[in-house]
Amino acid sequence: MNDVLRQAERLGLPVGAAELPAVQELVTEILGTVRSLPVPARPAVSRAVRAPSTEDDPLNAVTWWTDAEPTSSGPLDGVRVAVKDCIAVSGVPMSAGSALLAGFRPDVDSTVVARLRAAGARIVATTRMDEFGLAAGGDTGVGGAVRNPFDPDRTAGGSSSGCAAALHYSTVDVAVGADQGGSVRVPAAWCGVFGLKPTSGLVPATGSVGIDHTVDHLGPIARTTADLARVLNVLAGPDGADPRQSGLPPPVDYSAAEPRDLSGVRLGLLRTPGEPAVQAAFDDVVASLTKLGATIIPVDLPELADAGALCFGTTVEGTTALLAAGGNGYQWRGHYWPELARAVADGWRSNAGDLGLAAKAVLLAGSYLQETYRGEWYAIAQNARSRLVSGYARALDGVDALLSPTTPGLPHPVHADSDLARVRRGWAVLANTVPANLTGHPALSMPLAEAEGLPVGAMLTGHHFDEARLLQISAVCERELGTRPTRS
């Protein structure tokens, strides 16, 4: 009786004394039927891992060093890959940057890891991240701030912070991150490497921990455009388990040769607010692209003013619902992850108090919205995304891609005035990147500029499923302009 009354109180659902015995009897029958389902036996997998040291991880980028060997040979033979700590590698602890998942070891590879290993790659590390990807400063996850390779007193950006920083180690060739609001592109911009958020659904997210199925993306981070293309060739395509992948186009070769120059390329110039140093460096990029033959066309996208509200309107309540559902969510067809749900439940009972400030604020705000409005504001935000999608379609009409700074500012100092300041600045850095997560367009950050000795990213945002064009443009820019600052 007490359990039924407690659930009734939790739901705000009156249950009268006269009907309570019948309700209790029916609830018991329902639960008994559910628990009669067979639970598949899956042997626990434990792979050897090694904690990083200051000698082999001076930037604090790595969660675990490991060695998940190739399962076959292929186009990535010999390539050493680091993956974000929210992407499952069988037998390797995965925390998503949070104490909530302490001790969780996935038994099965995520789809992207399975594809990498089948293509000949070796997974050598899982990398640090902001807690559950809920900020982009690179300094809110378990293990502390990831250091910027160009100035260790600044952060690497996030939330795929360790992925981008680890590319400055000789032991890592490429990385795969997750991007819910800019989490591949921001650290790529601040660490002077290339980062691609593919079109929504192009790369399956099966076996990864996200924050809302409608904004979650996985994508490659690499030192070169060619490496981005090589990895995307392996990652892209349906896996039959991720319902976000409906309507994919036929496969293409993303490694196709780049054009000689940018003649005939039309880029829509998107001006966004930012620090003067970033704006000046970006203006230099625009001038350089013009010299390479690109036609630069100023475009207006007033719908961007709604992006922040749309982001919070979807992800805050979405994250709360997703975690309440064990990281899986409800009411979609595809592969569910019961082991993750068990780990979330166990962690919630034992470690919920150790969640960071950003996570607690998001979950409490989401819980309030759910309890008070029953999903009304989530529905409003989801429907309102169509205006932003229409705005991007208009801005992209007649151009190959939009061009903007990846971030509005330079990398953050490691030491913030307070935890509150750290969270706020970790959200503000997403101003230019989050719209493409809401619209699903592909976006690629290129390390083409610098200011005060620090990297400044230039971002291309393209038509849906037109990653090949973005990669071709990026390859020309890399070949003709080089990357900046020069890596040591």
pLDDT, tens digit, for every residue of 378-430?
999 999 999 999 999 999 999 999 999 999 999 999 998 899 999 999 999 99
Q: Examine the pLDDT at 1 and tell me if it is beyond 70.
A: no
**Segment 273-296, tens digit of pLDDT:** 999 999 999 999 999 999 999 999
Tell me if 44 is assigned to some domain: no
Whether 6 and 124 map to the same domain: the answer is no
Alpha carbons 140 and 356: distance in angstroms, whole number: 7
Q: Across the chain, what does the average pLDDT equal?
A: 96
Whether 170 and 30 map to the same domain: the answer is no
| Alpha-carbon distance values, 160 to 25, 138, 141, 167, 194 (Å) | 49, 7, 11, 12, 13
Name the DSSP letter for residue 124: E
Whether 89 and 165 map to the same domain: the answer is yes
**Segment 346-376, tens digit of pLDDT:** 999 999 999 999 999 999 999 999 999 999 9
Mean of pLDDT values over 14-40: 94
Tell me if 39 is assigned to some domain: no
CA 176 to chain centre: 9
Whether 176 and 294 map to the same domain: the answer is yes
Tell me if 41 is assigned to some domain: no
Whether 30 and 55 map to the same domain: the answer is no
Confidence band of 258 (pLDDT split at 50, 70, 90)? confident
Whether 13 and 123 map to the same domain: the answer is no
Q: Compute φ and ψ for 80, nearest 5 degrees.
A: -100, 125
**Segment 201-219, tens digit of pLDDT:** 999 999 999 999 999 999 9
The total of structural domains in the chain comes to: 2
**pTM attached to this predicted model:** 0.96
Nearest to 4, CA basis, from 34, 35, 25: 25
Tell me if 486 is assigned to some domain: no
Determine which one of 90, 183, 208, 255 is catalytic. 183
Confidence band of 3 (pLDDT split at 50, 70, 90)? confident
Cβ-based neighbours of 429, under 8 Å, separated by 6 or more: 136, 137, 157, 182, 186, 407, 408, 409, 412
What pLDDT is recorded for position 332?
92
Whether 86 and 169 map to the same domain: the answer is yes
Q: Examine the pLDDT at 436 and tell me if it is beyond 90.
A: yes
CA 160 to chain centre: 7
Tell me if 172 is assigned to some domain: yes
Whether 57 and 162 map to the same domain: the answer is yes
Burial 31-66 (b: 16+ CB within 10 A, else e): eeeeeeeeeeeeeeeebebeebeeeebebbbbbbbb
Nearest to 131, CA basis, from 338, 298, 356, 437: 356
Whether 370 and 261 map to the same domain: the answer is yes
**CB-based burial of residue 157 (10 Å sphere; 0-12 exposed, 13-18 middle, 19+ buried)?**
buried
Instruction: Count CB neighbours of 283 within 10 A.
Output: 12
84 is catalytic: yes
Whether 16 and 161 map to the same domain: the answer is no
Name the DSSP letter for residue 321: H
Whether 186 and 302 map to the same domain: the answer is yes
Alpha carbons 196 and 218: distance in angstroms, whole number: 9
Tell me if 16 is assigned to some domain: yes
Confidence band of 242 (pLDDT split at 50, 70, 90)? very high
Whether 28 and 53 map to the same domain: the answer is no
Determine which one of 90, 98, 110, 159 is catalytic. 159
183 is catalytic: yes
Tell me if 43 is assigned to some domain: no
Name the DSSP letter for residue 203: S
Alpha carbons 370 and 360: distance in angstroms, whole number: 15
Alpha carbons 74 and 100: distance in angstroms, whole number: 37
Q: Examine the pLDDT at 88 and tell me if it is beyond 80.
A: yes
Alpha carbons 132 and 134: distance in angstroms, whole number: 5
DSSP letters for 68-119: E--SS-STTTT-EEEEETTB--TTS---TTSGGGTT---SS--HHHHHHHHT
Q: Examine the pLDDT at 40 and tell me if it is beyond 90.
A: no
Q: Are 123 and 112 in contact (CB under 8 A)?
A: no
CATH code of the domain containing 262 = 3.90.1300.10
What pLDDT is recorded for position 41?
83
Instruction: Count CB neighbours of 364 within 10 A.
Output: 12
| Alpha-carbon distance values, 431 to 91, 185, 312, 358, 362 (Å) | 36, 12, 12, 17, 18
418 is catalytic: no
Q: Which domain holds residue 350?
A: 49-481
| Alpha-carbon distance values, 142 to 19, 95, 98, 145 (Å) | 48, 8, 6, 9
